[in-house]
Structure formats: C-alpha cells, structure tokens
C-alpha cells in the first residue's frame, strides 16, 4: 500500500489536477495524519495507521517556512497558481487556523499576488465562527460533501466525532455562495457495503442539498491514488460527466476530474 504522508508545514510545489501549480501548506504534523474524518479512500491512509508523535507546526513556523519557500520560488522565477491548505488531515483543526490564513494572505500579496489561496477541508469545523470567517477570506473555500446519506457517511467518510449532515448543510449555506463543494464519487464494495454513489439514489438528494447551498462551483472527482481500503473503484468518465451535467443544468458551474 502506498499512501502518502506529506512534509509539514510546506510541500511542493506540485501540479494538481484541479488547481494548477500548487504550493502545499500542511498544518498537521509531519510524521502522521490527524483528521476528523477517516475516509476509506484517504490518500494519507487510515488514521489508526499513522498516529503522529510530533505536534502541529506553530503559526510562526508556518509563516517562516512559507516566506522562505515563496522567496526561493520567486528567485527561481516559479510562480504558484495557488497556495493550497491540504496535507495530512483536516487543516481547519489547527487552533490558529484563522491567524495562519491572515499570514498566508499577507505573504501571497507580497510575493505572488496573482496566486489564489485555497483550502481543502472536510467541512466539519466550518460552523465555528473563526473558521467560517477565515474561510470567507480565502479565494477558494473548497468543502467536502460526498453525500447526504448518514449511513453512507458513516461507512465511507467515517467521522471521528459529532457529525450531523443537516447541520453541515446549514453551515455551507451560511457562506452565501462563497464556497466550492467537492464530492468524491466512486464504486466498489467494502465488507459487503456497496459504496457506489454514482446513481440517482445518492446523486438526486445530494443535488437537492447542493441547490440549497448555492455554491459558486462544484468539483466532482474520483479516486486518483491508491486507497487504504481495498475494493474501491473509480467512477467512469461517463458517470462523472453525467453528474456534472446535472449540476450545470441546475445553473451551478461544475468541473469533473477523472
Ligand atoms: S477528509 Fe480528507 S484528509 Fe480527512 S480522512 Fe478524508 S480524505 Fe483524508
């Protein structure tokens, strides 16, 4: 199994399918994974297999490392399209997430004003005022909503604490359109549970929730790397295109990544 644990607090730049030349900012420890979900498709692996011994980087460590890397890239004439908060778990779980966003915006404005600041999050903490307000300040507030079916969520996303999908939908609505919904579609069978969420059974109620949220965009995608759970299959191009077309028919821009 070749899941990935990323360096911390800065990794890359890497070329992202969805985001372009992306400099990664990882607010989780460098030696393991910390997430409020434990997705069966997580490219970092299962939480239990990667318990970290190190701490999260401090706000100061993140700002120092980010500035050093941006100066280096500037001197090399490499210009990031995006500074992306992602990595070994849930970025908004960092206790100084909001302040780190402010530091990042300041450094972006100084060294690469054309770059976007993106956050990839599972949305579990976006109801917290400081997290909500910080996410309102970033360019791409990309929040996960794989389905609205509680059984599927418990089998596939596997929240580690309280998670009520209706509450999450309300939190997503509260961004008043300043949110991009990202949804993983896949197929396969895990311990007798069919994880295929590409059919109308899952897509129709998910689409109704998306319409209520009124995001600026939706990103649908599928498995791209090795997953910790065995038996997962990619959604096909046709399936993703069909879902994308349903979203765009509802008047919401949507991209599909295969
Ligand atoms: S939310 Fe993201 S980081 Fe967390 S377990 Fe799921 S895929 Fe991994």
Counting ligand 1 atoms within 8 A of each CB, the residue from 44, 48, 157, 158 with the most, and so the one to mutate, is 44
Answer whether 36's CB lies under 8 Å from 160's CB: yes
Residue with the smallest CA separation from ligand 1 atom 3 is 89
pLDDT (tens digit, 9 = 90+) per residue, 110-148?
Answer: 999 999 999 999 999 999 999 999 999 999 999 999 999
What is the C-alpha to C-alpha distance for residues 95 and 235, in angstroms, rounded to an integer? 36
Neighbours of 4 (CB within 10 A): 14
Closest atom of ligand 1 to CA, residue 86: 3
Beta bridge partners of 187: 233
* Topology (CATH level 3) of domain 10-255: TIM Barrel (3.20.20)
Pairing between β-strand 193-194 and β-strand 186-190 as defined by DSSP bridges? antiparallel
- Residue 212 buriedness (CB in 10 A; 0-12 / 13-18 / 19+): exposed
pTM: 0.96
What's the length of the chain? 258
pLDDT tens-place values along the chain, 258 residues long = 467 999 999 999 998 766 789 999 999 999 999 999 999 999 999 999 999 999 999 999 999 999 999 999 999 999 999 999 999 999 999 999 999 999 999 999 999 999 999 999 999 999 999 999 999 999 999 999 999 999 999 999 999 999 999 999 999 999 999 999 999 999 999 989 999 999 999 999 999 999 999 999 999 999 998 899 999 999 999 999 999 999 999 999 999 998
| Residue whose pair of structure tokens reads 């961004």 in the numeric block | 175
- Local structure of residue 228 (DSSP, 8 states): S
């Amino acid at each position: 199994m070749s899941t990935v644990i990323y360096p911390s607090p800065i990794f890359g730049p890497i070329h992202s399918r969805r985001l372009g030349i992306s400099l990664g900012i990882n607010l989780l420890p460098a030696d393991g994974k910390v997430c409020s979900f434990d997705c069966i498709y997580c490219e970092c692996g299962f939480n239990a297999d990667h318990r970290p011994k190190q701490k999260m980087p401090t706000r100061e460590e993140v700002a120092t490392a980010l500035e050093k890397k941006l100066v280096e890239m500037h001197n090399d004439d490499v210009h990031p399209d995006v500074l992306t908060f992602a990595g070994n778990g849930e970025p908004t779980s960092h206790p100084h997430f909001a302040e780190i966003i402010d530091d990042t915006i300041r450094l972006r404005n100084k060294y690469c004003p054309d770059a976007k600041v993106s956050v990839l999050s599972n949305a579990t903490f976006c109801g917290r005022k400081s997290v909500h307000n910080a996410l309102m300040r970033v360019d791409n507030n990309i929040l996960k909503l794989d389905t609205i079916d509680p059984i599927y969520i418990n089998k596939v996303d596997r929240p580690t604490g309280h998670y009520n999908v209706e509450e999450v939908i309300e939190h997503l609505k509260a961004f008043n359109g300043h949110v991009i919904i990202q949804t993983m579609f896949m197929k396969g069978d895990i311990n007798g549970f069919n994880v295929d969420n590409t059919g109308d059974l899952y897509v129709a109620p998910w689409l109704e929730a998306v319409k209520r949220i009124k995001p600026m965009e939706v990103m649908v995608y599928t498995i791209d790397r090795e997953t910790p759970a065995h038996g997962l299959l990619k959604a096909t191009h046709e399936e993703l295109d069909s879902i994308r077309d349903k979203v765009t028919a509802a008047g919401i821009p949507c991209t599909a990544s295969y």
